[in-house]
Structure 1
Amino acid sequence: MARLTDHLFVISFDCLATLDVPFLMELPNFRAFIEKSSFCKGVETIYPSVTYPCHTTIVTGNFPNKHRIINNKMVQPGCPSPDWYWHRHHIKGTTLYDEAKKAGMSTAALLWPVTAKANIDYNLPEIFSNRRWKHQIPVSLMNGTALYQLELNNKFGHLRRGISQPYLDDFVLESTVHTILTKKPGLMLTHLVDLDSMRHYHGFSSEQAHAALHRHDERLGRILTAIKEAGLEDKSTVVLLGDHSQLDESKVIKLNVLFREHGLIKLSASGKVTEWKAFCNSCDGSAYVYLKNEGDKETKKIVASLLERLLKEGSNGIEAVITGDEAALRGADGKALYMLEAERGFYFEEAIEGNFIEDVTEETAREKNYTFACHGYSPTKEDYKTVFFAAGKGIRPGIEIPAMRLVDEGPTLARLLGVSLGDTDGRVIEELLMD
């Protein structure tokens, strides 16, 4: 298979949405790039539309039920901070960076989800020090490219303030620019989270979100300048993409509170989970319901009856309840007993104590880490699409694709590199590519 480009730079602006396009056209670097690109302004995301499944779909071309990154977080009832799907070994099948490496290309990834311990030449994985006895820098070093990370931390570590934004993205930007200039990778994956964070904590159309878009425009300009200074401009393809949108919300649904009231979750006097039969694992705008014992008919009956009553009552924020089999048909985890979709204005939390429905206020956001906007919703929600822009070597200029899906991105990126992801759920968007 012929290779269409020598260097592929993929920049993921987490939560960049179709609704952002008019504002992007007011920003100098985004506008200049979009005007020379081919693009789709209406990319359908996946279900559940959360970051780790989305980014795994981008590099595999498959839905979550196939690549098996079915949520951000694992099912760990009662754990105050559940582990995430950080590691490459959780992904079933191959990835874009695996195939690029096999084809002899150098590879780089900066905070790209689910790349811990991946076979990537220059790897700064997104992984948290998720326990009190762990420290962020050793955790990152152990799960990525140690010498490369030490180099980045030595040069740019002063820019970070833990994982707080916009400081983390400032660090990632400088690391990206440095890597382009000094390593000139064949494939580079960069994940920027500033916009997503601002929307979570301040709302979709907040001043803080608009400020993040301005910062992203400056970051884009720096990256494009670095590609030019490295002498790679005529040999490279640059792809800008989002993974999902967000929707504003003002109420939290805590289904595990009802599960506890019905005896399906038991707590000790100190509030620790001692036993569970059913558990609601949040994907923010949607949620999975799992049974500890899939053959527990009595618990199945209790859960089914409870969800049926909630749907009939209405006004509790649950828009739809589908079976695990139906979830699998939508690309989600078929191993769940049910998948729940929240109404606009609502989202799910995993908390076991408190009220079933709680308001999101400045106080609860501060005390309970509630958010004012989130994702995870069904891709069929109105005004919920994301974007894909590509320009450079191997791309036909000025082509608008009316509609495409997130699963189409992986096969298309692979085709640019002259590699294959195998039998994928998505297709190559040939209309974008040079013959």
Structure 2
Amino acid sequence: MAIGDAAYIKKINRSQIVQTIFKEEMISRADLSDITKLTKATISAQVASLLEDGLIVESQQEHNFVGRKPIMLSINDKAGFALGIDLDYGHISFALSDLKGQLVSTDTIETDTKNYSSVIQLLTDYIKKYELQSSESRYGLVGIVIAIHGLVNKDETIHFIPRLNWYDVDLKKDLQKSICVPIYIENNANVCSFAERVFVHHETDNLVSVTLYSGIGVGIMMNNTLFHGQNGFAGEAGHMIIVPNGIACSCGNKGCWEKYASESSIFQKLSQKMNKDNLTYKHIQKWIDEGDSNVQQLMEETIYYLSIGLNNLINIYNPEIVVLDSELLRMYPQSLLKIRENLTSSVSHYRDMVISTLGKKSSVLGACALAIKQFFDVPILNLSYSEEMSLK
């Protein structure tokens, strides 16, 4: 056997062991061997290496049986930290998590600039603050993932961010001029779908996540891997045409899905109908509670058009789980039931459709999880998210 082959096998074994420890949360060496089908000698050697590296820890578990207490292995969540950033027009959200994905610090800052250099400086200042906050851990800040509300090439350069009007910029390269931590750039919808799989839907390998806030973004997990398409632009389903010659869209087409089913389109239409500027979710919730006919009519229309697009996605990707991320759907009574009732095709197949429980945190959570995945070099993670432990 070539030396390179032996090193590759060791790398694969290590990845399998780490992934299993993440999944089980706490596990003995014997059970680790049973689950992975690796020999006890291999488990012993790999565990010793992971302990030496400070990536896992040992603990004794209480039990009521006769004999020695089993020594359990778990991920050392305090060995380092991951930083997730959601970069959007008007605000930037930061979240620092430990190596088990639990949030330990968050910030959201309001911005009033689209200037690329200004945003670079702002990001750099905040990243350095989080580097300092993480510096006492063994590995410090292990990785940074920035979620972009736009088109990201496969080489992680940014092709286009509509709301910032950025074309063909290399944010990763420009940040790395002053930041030494590994940086990854990913599309926001992809990061959200990764969060749904990693934190909530552990039982599925195939998932479609649809975010409905400023536009419509679709993240696709196929066989536990993000589906990017030829250039990295897969998932731009918000710009599929569902109404020929319909409402003009900034993309250049008419009748795009997001012009009929995104929250931004609902806010715009309601603002006109109700003759009210600066609408908030509280305003809409109040009108829903009061049974306002204008709001009800618009929400029913939105659900109808949303269902058309979902029918298309389900037929194209045949996902096991469809996750819808929308605050308005969470507010509107029986919205999920009404969507399901519209999906009447006998050829559309999916196991379940749910409204996201992560909500707007999914972007930064997914970004943190993706940084953890890259650090440990594992195919997929199973993490737990506790709202009580997160900082707001």
- What TM-score results when the alignment is normalised by the length of structure 2? 0.31
Larger RCO, structure (CA 8 Å, separation 6 or more): 1
Q: What's the TM-score once normalised by structure 1's chain length? A: 0.28
Could you say which structure has the higher helix fraction?
A: 2
Bigger Rg, which one: 2
